[in-house]
Amino acid sequence: MSPHGRGVWRWYGGIAAVVVSSLLIAWPLGGLEDAVKEGPRQISLGQSVTGHRVAIKPGRVAFTTKDPLPWSDAGQKGRYLVLDMDVTNVSPQAVNLTELYLDFDVHADRYHVDPIADLYRQAVLRDDSQGGQINPGMAEKVRFAWVLPASVSEPRQVTVTMRDETWEPSWSLLGYSSGVSLWFKGEVMATLKARVERG
Amino acid sequence: MNRAATVAIGLALLAAIGGAQRLVPDADLTYRPIATSGVVGEEVRVLPYTFRVDGVDLGRTLRLEKSFGDQTMTTGGVWVVVRAGAAATTEQVTLGTAVLRSADGAEFAVSDRVLGLEGESLQAGIWRKGALAFEILPGQVEGARLVISKARYSSIHRLNGALGPAVEIDLGLTRERLAAAGPTVTIKESAP
């Protein structure tokens, strides 16, 4: 082989070594895959969306003055916004309703419902009792209820964004995964636009 | 050694490093609670307490005997009631987090509709009896094991169970046990 030919092969060998070594380093760190990102789905009442932790099917949004989640038979009169959903836990661990609630962001017309200050209660509804968690594989009826301030007029439409959660290792300050896995807030998986019924 | 051999050895070493990296257990496995196993009827001793399962009952509905009237509760699955006793070792402690771990690894939390033994204060050397009530899908009953971890001391709040003590009990749940389940299981609610 001529000296020129050897030089070309040396270049090819060098490039191949760089490519192979990059793959060998990238592979143990999780590969080179890059998911195609899609925007959040627009859904309406009766349509379901499935994330990594739960599948949600919103059933009804209502404005009512009757207590939607009374502690006692009498209940408490007020100005309530109510969201009823069918929720199925698709993960292998129990879902706490308080954590699930924080994945929701609600606008009633132009009013941004404050997730802390405006929250009335949230509950898993059964005929005989109420609860606060959903076990793996279980499909439950869930109700979120907020109290709207007197300054906010009766809403006609709500926009609800629902955020997914992903099960990932926790990370150290040095930037590598070192801790046990936790549920982290993920991308917005769906946006619900719905008319508010009265009742 | 010629250059080609050096490059080949270098690449082989890189591949070996990659392979070794894949063999390292992840943090969930490395830091999981250290479980002491047992079976129904056996006393299982871990650092904070001694725990024993006396029996297991299954039913489609749960009848809860309360101080102010009884309550019957349905479920989308089946009720698994673990009747058990426990005593603290040296200081006041509660059992902590109790789950039924199915054969495929799904973890069913103890029902939040019932105040059970998991939340009771255990005193040193004094046995306290009670029940742990779970709602679980019928298809997940076979082979499910009781796992209790994250014991809560009144003096120390350590919610992370990493490398902490845990109890794992084989409840002997089979398809036959499920088929023989009665319509209703009755338990007495623990004092809050």
Query: Which residues 14-43 of B have a C-beta within 8 angstroms of A?
Result: 14-15, 17-18, 21-22, 26-28, 31-32
By Cβ distance, the residue of B22, B32, B112 closest to A28 is B22
A123: amino acid identity, one letter:
A
B34-62 pLDDT, tens digit each: 999 999 999 999 999 999 999 999 999 99
Give the A-side interface with B, CB within 8 Å. Answer: 13, 17, 20-21, 24-25, 27-29, 92-94, 126-129, 131-133, 135-140, 169-170, 177-181
B170: amino acid identity, one letter:
D
Task: Please give the model's pTM, rounded to 2 decimal places.
Answer: 0.83
Its ipTM equals 0.84
HSE toward the beta carbon, residue B134, CA cutoff 13 A: 32
Radius of gyration for the alpha carbons in chain A, expressed in angstroms and rounded = 25
Instruction: Look at strands A111-112 and A133-134 and give their pairing.
Output: unpaired
Partners of residue A17 in chain B, C-beta under 8 Å: 7, 11
Q: Is B78 helix (H, G, I), strand (E, B) or coil?
A: strand
Partners of residue B22 in chain A, C-beta under 8 Å: 28
Does the structure show a pLDDT above 80 at A60?
yes
Which DSSP category does B178 fall into? H
Is the four-CA dihedral B99, B102, B105, B111 of positive or negative sign? negative
B72-115 pLDDT, tens digit each: 999 989 999 999 999 999 999 999 999 999 999 999 999 998 88
Which DSSP category does B121 fall into? P
Which DSSP category does B110 fall into? B
Q: Do B74 and A128 touch (CB under 8 A)?
A: yes
Partners of residue B60 in chain A, C-beta under 8 Å: none
